[in-house]
Amino acid sequence: MRLRIAYFCRVEYTLKKSLGQHFLKDEKICLSIVDAIPNCERLVEVGPGAGAITKYILQKPALDFKAVELDDEKVAYLETTYPAIKGKIVHESILDCAPPFEETFTVVGNFPYNISSQILFRVLEWKDQVPVMVGMFQKEVAKRIVSGPGNKDYGILSVLVQAYYHAEYLFDVPPQSFNPPPKVDSGVIKLTRRTDVVDMRSEKSFIAVVKAAFGQRRKMLRNPLKGMFTPETLQEEIFTKRPEQLSVADFAALTFKMK
């Protein structure tokens, strides 16, 4: 779907389905997202699109702001419609660019649904620089991120994110809040970096055991993890559980038992 939008300023842009673009039009939702951003010195907006959130961010005083936008049309539209943004746009994909600041920065965005999980993993890569993230996801993904052990939505995203961030579901966003309306509900979440990250052998081993465990989430852990632990270790009681029964701390503790 490519919807052409024309404005009196004679700048046009298209909504590109290939980029997962659904632009916010509900001003109350935009303001709620901006209100959820904590006071910070530096802020990065991912995928500003037509500037629904951006126009409010630009009103914040004494804020070092950058917007990461890949689409040529949107960059041209933003610079024409909001002159204050000139010089603040990183014209690249968030998945390819370097951290927009050398110092710490907060991240906000109405993330394109087709790469929202990849954006989340990008934030995890930058976790030492990103103390807070406020983002909109497809509701199903948002629920997965914030879910705890014992919940059917609890999975790889839940564990990997919650190892480093406190995850909070803020509010729902209905399809009619967008142009064009997506076929799914959306949700806004807030991640706040933890000060009590659990001990683990290494981040690499932690990721490996979590992904392997949830690769066969309906089976007892000793089945998907049998190649990572000795036969003797696999006899321990924890390996009779299923992955959704384990906490983040449980997964971290398992890394010290790996071969």
Residues 178 and 230 in one domain: no
Instruction: Read off the CATH number of the domain in which 227 is found.
Output: 1.10.8.100
Q: Which positions ≥6 away from 154 have C-beta within 8 Å? A: 144, 147, 148, 244
Q: Which of 259, 224, 252, 255 is nearest to 239 (CA)?
A: 224
- Is pLDDT above 90 for 14? no
Residues 166 and 248 in one domain: no
Residues 53 and 175 in one domain: yes
Residues 111 and 38 in one domain: yes
Residues 230 and 186 in one domain: no
Q: Which of 124, 136, 109 is nearest to 162 (CA)?
A: 124
Burial 15-51 (b: 16+ CB within 10 A, else e): beeebebbbbeeeebbeebbebbeebebbbbbbbbbb
The residue behind tokens 């990008």 is 122
Residue 101: pLDDT band with limits 50, 70, 90: very high
Residues 59 and 101 in one domain: yes
pLDDT, average across residues 18-31:
80
- Is pLDDT above 70 for 220? yes
How far apart are alpha carbons 63 and 57 in whole angstroms? Answer: 9
Residue 39 lies in a domain: yes
Residues 139 and 18 in one domain: yes
How far apart are alpha carbons 131 and 212 in whole angstroms? Answer: 28
Q: Which of 211, 244, 245 is nearest to 227 (CA)?
A: 211
The residue behind tokens 């920065």 is 105
Specify the pTM. 0.91
Residues 240 and 188 in one domain: no
Residue 229 lies in a domain: yes
Residue 129 lies in a domain: yes
Residues 53 and 132 in one domain: yes
pLDDT, average across residues 145-161:
97
- Is pLDDT above 50 for 89? yes
Structural domains counted in the chain: 2
Residue 77 lies in domain: 2-193
Contact 220/241 with Cβ under 8 angstroms?
yes
Residue 145 lies in a domain: yes
**Which DSSP string do the residues of the chain spell out, in sequence order?**
-EEEEE-TTS-EEEEEGGGT--EE--HHHHHHHHHHSPP-SEEEEE--TTTTTHHHHTTSTT-EEEEE---HHHHHHHHHH-GGGTT-EE-S-TTTSPPS-SS--EEEEE--GGGHHHHHHHHHHTTTT-SEEEEEEEHHHHHHHH--TTSTT-SHHHHHHHTTEEEEEEEEE-GGGEESPPSS-EEEEEEEE-S-PPP-S-HHHHHHHHHHHHHTTTS-TTTTTTTTS-TTGGGSGGGGS-GGG--HHHHHHHHTT--
| C-beta atoms surrounding 201 within 10 Å | 15
Residue 198 lies in a domain: no
Residue 236 lies in a domain: yes
- Is pLDDT above 70 for 1? no
Residue 131 lies in a domain: yes
- Is pLDDT above 70 for 190? yes
Residues 187 and 208 in one domain: no
Q: What does the pLDDT look like over 47-87, one tens digit per residue?
A: 999 999 999 999 999 999 999 999 999 999 999 999 999 99
Residues 47 and 97 in one domain: yes
- Is pLDDT above 80 for 113? yes
Residues 160 and 237 in one domain: no
Instruction: Read off the CATH number of the domain in which 80 is found.
Output: 3.40.50.150
pLDDT, average across residues 116-143:
97
